[in-house]
Amino acid sequence: MSQRVTTVVIGAGHAGLAASHFLSERSIDHIVLERGRIANSWRRERWDSLRLLTPNWLNRLPGHGYGGPDPDGYMTAGQVADFIGDFATDTAAPVRENTAVTSVRRTDGGYRVSTDEGDLDCATVVIASGACNAPVVPECAAGVPDGITQLTPFEYRNPGSLPDGGVLVVGASATGVQLAAEVRRSGRPVVLSVGEHVRLPRTYRGRDVLWWMDAAGVWAQRYDEIEDLARARRLPSPQLVGEPGTTIDLNALTGLGVEPVGRLAVVRDGVALFSGGLRNVCSLADLKMRRLLAGFDEWAGIGDGPAGFEPTRIPAAPRLRLDLRGGEIATIIWATGFRPDYRWLDVPVVDEKGRLRHDGGVVDSPGLYALGLPVLRRRRSTLLHGIEDDARFVAGHLAERLTPRVVA
Amino acid sequence: MTTTDNGVNVQALLDAREALKGAPEAAQFIWRATSTWKNGVHSTTTIQNFFGLGQEQSHKTKTEFTADHPEIFAAEDNGITPIEYLLVGLAGCLTAGVASVAQNRGIQLRSVTSTVEGNHDIRGILGADSDVRNGFNDVKVTFAIDADASREEIEALVAQSQKRSAVYDALTNPTSVTVEVA
């Protein structure tokens, strides 16, 4: 026997709970399914030192702001989990924990959601299972010699848990630069493989760079106004760390003694080969950062031009090869991104790259919705506080669908 | 509104990008060259046909390239050194990229010149020092661009052209090369 409910929300993170909040507001009966505990990935899939990149004052869920003593600070992963957990309690969200979805398929009246605790039949489904369910590791990892410890950010906890010896960190988005810095501070030699990246200062003209993005309206840009939406949605996370006043760009890292090399191209006969294009990816990042800062100045009516940021310093001859058999490197950390996992979704709405096909959260199958994905409806959808508008819209669209239309 | 004309049909390229997104098999090209040894280190290579968009294609004319070594290498210098062809390819590719990106961004170019220098320690190819590689140690390209744009916009053109350059990628990233006897 299956249970009937109007709407099933998959995932009790910030997105699923925000959806639940707006569904409750509209008296739409629903259940939020959670494979683990509320805010599961914040509790289980984060390294020890991780903090949110957004300052506390910016972290809002519908009707639920930060009320603590440090509005300019940054939450730890545990604090984020508690923040989301408190929101779930305040909104009395109907969450069913420890219930993993094994399949979602279409039925005549909507969808059947199968779980390891039984089936549910529903008219509509909101997929809020997250954008970062699994680390992405490039194929060339298969060529890494046996003696080397390989870790993804899901497995890495802290530098103390690494074997002695050098560390190759592959990837220079937020994850890669943060891990490179803390591993280097533990005294280990660190080589950082750098592809295309987003350089940002933590503060600009005395304010958090995310304050500028918020105030200047960058986050408010709508998904259907973005020229290259596919690119915006796959943009790597910026080189930021949740530490007041701390910029963690490549200049900061080379200052700590981290050695930058180009993008990892291939591992051939136990030797890692890096692109010779490091200079260009750094030039691109410098140019884009200056353009963004100049945009802030223009918005603020400041005319003297963005000052104080020197170009990324690059070694005269970055290494092109690194022998992984030579003992120099004991550990490789793959900070090469994350992907969503839709293996349980038996509705043909996933593209060849494994991404959900949706138009601003309205998935390409009637009654199916998505929340909590990067740039879902606005640039701010990527961040915690972006969920409010998105969830309100999705709940509204979903309610519209449930209302029988009177045909004149 | 002023019209930018760098002679690049950007619309056709953008249309092709859209069309090929849904047809990855049509995007598979094979570029071909045929080479014949003449004498000494002198050879000629001809290029005319290639494969793409699902079928055999042909350039309007056949082009012949002569490769040799200079007289200081005790050769006849019938043509440029093979490694210099890499400079030809890189300059041609980056320059095409600058023109295309400028067209797409509405920047009118007046002149684009560049010099390409490959630093090469020939002890590698001579086998004089096993620690020296055979190929270039590094390559430096210097552009001089006159255009209706700021220095920053011009730098962005050059950076973007590298990002989308086939030859820049082929030189900066390792490529699997198979050489066999038919």
Residue B34 Cα to chain centre, angstroms: 18
Q: Is the pLDDT of residue A75 over 70?
A: yes
Residue A93 Cα to chain centre, angstroms: 24
Query: Has residue A242 been placed in a domain?
Result: yes
Query: Has residue B163 been placed in a domain?
Result: yes
Structure confidence at residue A307 (pLDDT): 66
The C-alpha angle A342, A76, A380, rounded to 5 degrees, equals: 55
Q: Quick check: B174 and A280 CB within 8 A?
A: no
Q: Which two tokens stand for residue B69?
A: 């070594």
Query: Has residue A74 been placed in a domain?
Result: yes
Share of chain A above pLDDT 70, in %: 98
Same domain (yes/no): A345, A238: no
Query: Has residue A237 been placed in a domain?
Result: yes
3-state secondary structure chain A: CCEECCEEEECCCHHHHHHHHHHHHCCCCEEEECCCCCCHHHHHCCCCCCECCCCHHHCCECCECCCCCCCCCCCEHHHHHHHHHHHHHHCCCCEECCCCEEEEEECCCCEEEEECCEEEEECEEEECCCCCCEECCCHHHHHCCCCCEEECCCCCCCHHHCCCCEEEEECCCHHHHHHHHHHHHCCCCEEEECCCCCCCCCEECCEEHHHHHHHCCCCCCEHHHCCCHHHHHCCCCCCCCCCCCCCCCHHHHHHHCCEEECCEEEEECCEEEECCCHHHHHHHHHHHHHHHHHHHHHHHCCCCCCCCCCCCCCCCCCCCEEECCCCCEEEEEECCCEECCCCCECCCCECCCCCECEECCEECCCCEEECCCCCCCEHHHHCHHHHHHHHHHHHHHHHHHHCCCCCC
Chain A residue numbers with beta carbons less than 8 Å from the beta carbon of B160 are 284
Same domain (yes/no): A92, A187: no
Query: Has residue A115 been placed in a domain?
Result: yes
Residue-range definition of the domain harbouring residue A349: 3-133+340-402
Query: Which whole-number Å values give the CA distances from A26 to A7, A398, A403, B93, B134, in the listed order?
Result: 12, 10, 12, 58, 71
Same domain (yes/no): A200, A140: yes
Share of chain A above pLDDT 90, in %: 94
Query: Has residue B93 been placed in a domain?
Result: yes
CA–CA distance, A249 with B55 (Å, rounded to integer): 47
Same domain (yes/no): A152, A291: yes
A297 CB-side CA count, 13 A: 14
Q: Quick check: A273 and B152 CB within 8 A?
A: no
Chain B residue closest in CA terms to A267: B174
Q: Which two tokens stand for residue A127?
A: 């997929």
Chain A residue numbers with beta carbons less than 8 Å from the beta carbon of B157 are none
Query: Has residue A209 been placed in a domain?
Result: yes
Q: Is the pLDDT of residue A139 over 70?
A: yes
Strands of A166-170's sheet in order across: A149-151, A329-334, A166-170, A190-193, A259-261
pLDDT band at B76 (very low <50, low <70, confident <90, very high): very high
Closest partner residue to B138 among A283, A284, A317, by Cβ? A317
Contact A101, A114 (CB under 8 A): yes
Average pLDDT over residues A233-253: 95
Q: What is the CATH number of the domain that holds A43?
A: 3.50.50.60
A293-333 pLDDT, tens per residue?
999 999 999 887 666 689 999 999 999 999 999 999 999 99
Query: Has residue B34 been placed in a domain?
Result: no
A140-176 pLDDT, tens per residue?
999 999 999 999 999 999 999 999 999 999 999 999 9
The C-alpha angle A326, A331, A332, rounded to 5 degrees, equals: 105
CA-nearest of A42, A107, A33 to A76 is A42
A33-44 pLDDT, tens per residue?
999 999 999 998
CA–CA distance, B77 with B84 (Å, rounded to integer): 13
Q: Which of A292, A307, A334 is the last residue before a domain boundary?
A: A334
B155 lies within 8 A of chain A by CB: yes
Same domain (yes/no): A151, A12: no
Chain B residue closest in CA terms to A279: B159
Structure confidence at residue A73 (pLDDT): 96
Same domain (yes/no): A59, A186: no
Q: Quick check: B152 and A290 CB within 8 A?
A: yes
Q: Is the pLDDT of residue A406 over 60?
A: no
Q: Which of A277, A309, A334 is the last residue before a domain boundary?
A: A334
Q: Is the pLDDT of residue A132 over 70?
A: yes
List the single best residue of A196, A199, A231, A280 to mutate versus B (max B Cβ within 10 A). Answer: A280
CA–CA distance, A123 with A398 (Å, rounded to integer): 10
Same domain (yes/no): A300, A235: yes
Q: Which residue has the tokens 């990855």?
A: B24
Q: Is the pLDDT of residue A1 over 70?
A: no
Q: Is the pLDDT of residue B1 over 50?
A: no
Q: Quick check: A287 and B152 CB within 8 A?
A: yes
Structural domains counted in chain A: 2
Query: Has residue A355 been placed in a domain?
Result: yes
pLDDT band at A339 (very low <50, low <70, confident <90, very high): very high
Structure confidence at residue B52 (pLDDT): 95
Closest partner residue to A275 among B152, B160, B172, by Cβ? B172
* Minimum mean pLDDT range among A97-101, B6-10, B105-109, B163-167: B6-10
Same domain (yes/no): A145, A240: yes
Query: Has residue A407 been placed in a domain?
Result: no
A51 versus A2: the higher-pLDDT residue is A51
Same domain (yes/no): A97, A206: no
Distance, first Cα to last Cα, chain B: 58
Query: Has residue B26 been placed in a domain?
Result: no
Same domain (yes/no): A212, A105: no
Q: Which residues of B91-126 are buried (b: 16+ CB within 10 A; e: fewer)?
A: bebbbbbbbbbbbbeebebeebeeebebebbeebee
Q: Is the pLDDT of residue B70 over 70?
A: yes
Same domain (yes/no): A12, A125: yes
ipTM score of complex: 0.85
Average pLDDT over residues A201-205: 95
SS3 B134: coil
Residue-range definition of the domain harbouring residue B142: 81-182
B162 lies within 8 A of chain A by CB: yes
Same domain (yes/no): A125, A156: no
Query: Bridge partners of A306?
Result: none
pLDDT band at B32 (very low <50, low <70, confident <90, very high): very high
* Minimum mean pLDDT range among A18-22, A140-144, B8-12: B8-12
Average pLDDT over residues A48-52: 95
Average pLDDT over residues B59-79: 97
Query: Has residue A71 been placed in a domain?
Result: yes
Structural domains counted in chain B: 1
Q: What is the CATH number of the domain that holds B104?
A: 3.30.300.20
List the single best residue of B90, B93, B172, B177 to mutate versus A (max A Cβ within 10 A). Answer: B172
Query: Has residue B71 been placed in a domain?
Result: no
Query: Has residue B143 been placed in a domain?
Result: yes
Q: Which of A334, A363, A388 is the last residue before a domain boundary?
A: A334
